[in-house]
Amino acid sequence: MIWDTHAHVDDPRFREDFAKMLKRAQAAEVTRILNVGYDLPSSERSVNLAREYDFIYAAVGIHPHDAKEASDSAWDTFLQLAEDPKVVAWGEIGLDYYRDLSPRTLQQAAFIHQIELADQAGLPIIIHNRDAHEDVYKIVKEHKPKHGGVFHTYSGSWEMAKLLLNLGFYLSFAGPLTYKNARQTAEVAEKVPHDRFLVETDAPYLTPEPYRGQRNEPAYVREVVVRLARARNMSLEEVAAQAWRNAETLFTRHES
């Protein structure tokens, strides 16, 4: 069994073949999907999907791109969504200095506030970090989440990874691990402790080899597992089982 711990299957690109996409996932032994919100509408869609399908779970939160859209009323709605038992994480949240679609000061404020909200809701966090390593590390060190979290689609160095692991975070691997030039990511995949890695697709984005150029979907997380197994000198079954155990450990609701 494989758990795709980060996907966006509510995306319009899945509208025409949604049922077939889920069947392909199950045929690839992907038996659990965590659908991750990035703003209020997508978070609401994620919760609705989780309510409809027993193998889909939800995360709610505001992506740094949309930090400028945050409001007090939105935060109240997020807290209400987070009460649903199928919501197992707060995210995706963090910083994105690559596109800078929201001012950096607002990104930072929204990130810190959502860590506090996740603590209040009894949930771990899912972190998006792009070209913002120093500020992300400073924030998670100074505002360490009570219930842990994961750096999704980890792309940093092993030196950075060690700092994050020391703070208790998990690292998740996605399609980029399968790319030929992914030496840095492959090094982290090889060295990350047994009990701290997860696997994901970030579908419909970051399609792994050999499907690169196509729309990504949960079935393709199997390629990430294969590449991770090679890096760690383990079998596909061993990696899938360990990643599942790790996800179950992290994505556990706590009393707020």
Burial code of 80-95, b = ≥16 C-beta within 10 A, e = fewer? ebbebebbbbbbbbbb
Query: Mean of the per-residue pLDDT values for the chain?
Result: 97
| Residue 227 near residue 243, CB atoms below 8 Å | no
Q: What is the pLDDT of residues 139-195, one digit of tens each?
A: 999 999 999 999 999 999 999 999 999 999 999 999 999 999 999 999 999 999 999
DSSP state of 85: T
Average pLDDT over every residue of 198-221: 98
Ordered by where they begin, the domains of the chain are 2-250 (3.20.20.140)
**What average pLDDT does this structure show over 235-255?**
95
CA dihedral (167, 127, 182, 218) positive or negative = positive
